[in-house]
Amino acid sequence: MQKSNVPVAKDLVLIGGGHAHVAVLRRFGMRPLPGLRLTLVTRDIHTPYSGMLPGYVAGHYDFDECHIDLGPLARFAGARLYHGEVQGLDPESGLVEVGGRPPVRYDLLSINTGSRPGTLDVPGAAEFALPVKPIDAFLRDWEDLIQRVLKSRGRFRIAVVGGGAGGVELALATQYRLQTLLRERNDDPGRLDYLLLTRGPDILPTHNAGVRSRFYRVMGERDIRVLTEHRVTELREGVIVAEGQPEVQADAVLWVTSASAPGWPALSGLAVDERGFIRVDANLQSQSHPGVFVAGDVAALPDDRPKSGVFAVRQGPVLTENLRRAATGRPLRRYRPQRQFLGLISTGDRYAVASRGRFSMEGAWLWRMKDWIDRRFMERFNELPEMEEESGPKLAAGVADQDAIRELSTLAMRCGGCGAKVGSTVLTRVMQRLPVSGRGDVVLGIDAPDDATVLAVPEGRLLVQSVDYFRAFIDDTYTFGRIAANHALGDLFAMGAEPQSALAIATVPYGRERVVEESLYDLLAGALSVLEPSGAVLAGGHSSEGAELAFGLTVNGLVDPDRIWRKGGMQPGDVLVLNKPLGTGTLFAADMRGKARGRWVDAAIESMCVSNLEAGEVLRRHGATACTDVTGFGLMGHLLEMTRASDVDAVLHMDAIPMLDGAPETVAAGILSSLQPQNLRLRRGVADLEVAARHPRFPLLFDPQTAGGLLASLPAEHADACVAELRRAGYPAAAVVGRVETRGEAMEPVRLAPTSSVSSARERRERRPCPNFGERARQEAQRES
C-alpha cells in the first residue's frame, strides 16, 4: 500500500467490486497516481470469483479460497472503502447516492456492479425462487436449502431455471454437494429429484454442439431431467408454470436466467439499452456522460458479448489505463474484446468440459488445469505484495488543472496559526447543509452562533461532561464520525446520564476547498446521525486543517444526583454483564498491516456503530449497581478500576466473554494494538498469572476498544432477563461474563475462571496458546516486581 501526503486534486469513485475493479485497485496500488483519490463503494466486502463459485457450492473450496477480500485490497490501493449499496446517481452534480450516508462526490466514476437474473417480469419468482445473484444472498439461501434437504424425509424435488452455462454448472454442483452430504449421513442420495428447465430448444446455446452433447450425456448419467421449450411464466409455492406445458412440481427453485440490469442507471439519466445496461463506447466510456466509465456485465458494448466474468477480467487493464488517462487529460485507449475464449465448465465433481469455438474436450485433467488457473488468479488479489511508502510524492502530471494547482500551491504557505483553521466560507456552507436542532437547556448553540455555547442546568440535576478525540483509523469519514460520537457518548451512558449537547473538534487533511468541505460535512453528518437519536444537540465546535483526519467531541449530559452510576457500586453476589464483543484494537492493528479479512473489519465497524443508549436503559431497568464503558484501557483495565472503587474481587469467565470474529486469529498471529503493551502492565491485578496467561484469549482482556460496550454489575437474579432484553434490543453478543465476590486477602482482585470442559472443536482450536505469550507475561511481571 502506498500512502500519499499529496492533497487531493480529483476524486475517482468505483461503484462495485467486480472483476474489472479488483484489477483497477491492484494496479493503482502498484502504481498510484498522486493527487487522485480512490473511493470504492461496494455492497459486498468479499467479492466472489465467478470461475470458482460452482466449486465452492460443490464443496471443493472454502469461502476465502473463492472470494476476493476487498478490505486489504482497498487498503493496498490507498482507496477509501465505503460499505453500502448505491441507490442512484446525479451525473450532472457528480454525486453518488448511497443508502444510509451522505452522497459521495466524484470527478471520475467507474461502474462495475455486475448483473442480476431477470425475475421481476415473472410473477412469484422473487418470492419463491433462489436467484443466483446477488451471490452473497444466494449463498445464504443455499445454506438454508442444505438444511432443508438434510432435515427432509422422502423425495425432495429441486428445479433449476436457466439452461446456460451458469444453470448447468449450478445444477451439477448443487446436486453433487447435496448427494455427498446425504451419503455422509447414511441417507439415500437417490431421493433427490433434479430437473433443469430452459426456454430454448437446447441447453448451452452459446456453446458448440459438441459441448452440448457432452453435457446432455453427463446430466443423463446424473439423473438430471432436462425440460427444453419451457418458458417459465409463473411461480407458485411448490409449482412452476411454463407456457404451453404441464405444471412442474418443485420443493425448491434455483433461478439462473438471463442477466438483467439494476434500475438506477436508467433513472439517473445514463444512456442505456433496451434491457437497462449502460451504453459505452469502444473506450468503456459512457455514451452520454464522458466522465463515467463502465465495465463487466452492467456495460452494453458497441460489439456486445455474452455476460461473462471472463470479459470483465480482460477489461480490467484497459479500464485502469483509461481512468489514468481521463484523470490526466490524455487520449483514451480502445478496448478490443476477444472473439473467442476458452471456457472450462465444471460438472460438479472434479471434472470439466472445455469449450472454444467449435472445439470441445473433457476430462479430470481439465478440472485440474482450471483449478490451477483459478488459484493463480486469486493469488494476485489475496496475496498482495509489500509496498514501501513513498515520502513526499508530487502531483501526477495532468491530474490538477491550473485552477487546482493555484489553489493547492497555497497549502504549503499556510501557517500553523489562523491558517490552520477551516475557512469561514467552507464552514458556513457545511453548517447550512446540516440539520439544526435545539433544546431548551441549550441557550446559545449553532442555531444562534456566538463566541461560546451557553448551557443551562435544570434545577435538581447535575452536569456530566466528557471529551474524546482521536485519529481516524478508517477512510470512511462519515462512518468515522458515527463511531467517534458513539465513543464519546459512551461515558455519559456509563454514568446513567441523559445526553444534552456536544461540541465537535475536527481536523481535516489539507486539500482543495471542496474536498475539505466534503470531509468536514461527512464527519459532522456522521456524528449527528448518532447525537440526534440520543437527544443531544450539536452546539458548536472547532475545525482546523492538518496532516491527517482526526475528530472528537466534548459531550455534556444531565443526571439526577441519586441516579448516577459510579464505578464503586458493585456488590458481592452481583454478576457482570457485557453488551458488546471485544477485539477492535487487534483487528484494526491487523487491518493496518493488511492482515485482517474484510468481513472481520466490517463486523467490527458495525459493532462500533451501535449506540449504547438502549443498553444503558436496559441495565437501568434491571437494577445495575455499577457501570463503565469498555474503551482504551481494555476490559481488564476498566474492571480493575471498578473492583478498586468498590473494594471487591471479581471472577471473569473467559469462555463467556464475547469476541469479534477474527480477533482470536489476529491475536494468535501476534498482532496487537500499539496501546496493548501499556495496558498489559495491569496484568498484576490478575491472580495466578502464569496459568491465566496461557489462555489464548488472555491478550484480548487488555485490547483497547473504540466505541466498546458497557460493563455493568447487577443482581444475579436479574441476569438472564437482562441479557435476553439486551439481545432483543440489538446487542446479540450480550452475555454474563463474570461475578463479583467479597474482597479477599489476595493482592490480585481479578481471577479467571477455569476453561469449560465442554467445548466445540472450533473453541478448542482457538484456545491453543499464543506463542510464548504466557511465558513472556510471567517474565515481565517478575522483572517489574
- Marked catalytic residue, from 418, 609, 627, 770: 418
Cell of 673: 494494538
Q: What are the CA-CA distances from residue 505 to residues 423, 474, 620 (Å)?
A: 15, 18, 31
Pairing of strands 710-715, 626-629: antiparallel
SS3 68: strand
Do the beta carbons of residue 308 and residue 295 sit within 8 Å? Answer: no
Of 428, 438, 526, 535, the closest CA to residue 477 belongs to 526
CA pair distance 15, 88, nearest whole angstrom: 11
Cβ 110 vs Cβ 15: under 8 Å: yes
Of all helices (H) and strands (E), which one includes residue 198?
none
3-state SS, residue 354: strand
Instruction: Give one DSSP letter per residue of 117-159, joined into a string.
Output: E--TTSTTHHHHEEES-SHHHHHHHHHHHHHHHHH--S-EEEE
* Catalytic residue list contains 722: no
Place of cell 444472498: 137
Closest-CA residue to 258 (of 272, 275, 246): 275
Quick one: cell of 362? 473433457
Helices (H) and strands (E) in the chain, counts: 24, 37
The cell numbers describing 492, all together, are: 455519559
* HEC assignment per residue over 420-465: HECCHHHHHHHHHHCCCCCCCCEEECCCCCCCCCEECCCCCCEEEE
DSSP 496-510: TPEEEEEEEEEEEES
Q: Which residues contact 776 (CB under 8 A, 6 or more apart)?
A: none
Q: What angle do CA 282, 283, 289 make, to 5 degrees?
A: 105
Radius of gyration, alpha carbons of the chain: 29
Q: Inter-axis angle of helices 209-221 and 165-184, to 10 degrees?
A: 20
d(Cα 159, Cα 173) in Å, to the nearest integer? 13
Task: Catalogue the active-site residues.
Answer: 418
